[in-house]
Amino acid sequence: MRKRSVGINVRVSVTEKRKMTLMAKRCGLSLSEYLRQRALGYEPGGHPPKEVFDVLDKLDEIAEGCTPATGAEIGTCADRLRDLLIGGN
């Protein structure tokens, strides 16, 4: 884990803080991590809702009940969807 020992104080309006907090939450990040990534030139992606991953988990369950070939095909598609949703390749 990195040691962060230096703080940076920035004044913002209540509305600006609300917006930044909302954007961080959408990305699944703390406000500090969101601002750190933005300041360093990264553009954090949005974080899909939990329900999306619940559906993908259900697809995995369905794949387990299928024939090996069909199950493998469904599993591969579910994995591709996961990668797209969380920024994989």
Q: Are residues 62 and 35 in the same domain?
A: no
Examine residue 2 and state whether it is found in any structural domain, yes or no: no
Task: Identify the band that residue 86 occupies on the pLDDT scale cut at 50, 70 and 90.
Answer: low
Long-range contacts of 55-64 (CB under 8 A, 24+ apart): 56/81, 56/82
Average pLDDT, integer, range 11-37? 90
More confident position, 23 or 50: 23
Asked if residue 89 has pLDDT above 50, the reply is: no
Q: How many domains does the chain have?
A: 2
Q: Are residues 33 and 57 in the same domain?
A: no
Expressed as residue numbers, the domain containing 72 is 50-86
**Are the beta carbons of 61 and 47 closer than 8 angstroms?**
no
Examine residue 1 and state whether it is found in any structural domain, yes or no: no
Q: Are residues 16 and 42 in the same domain?
A: yes
pLDDT, position 87: 57
Average pLDDT, integer, range 13-42? 90
Asked if residue 15 has pLDDT above 50, the reply is: yes
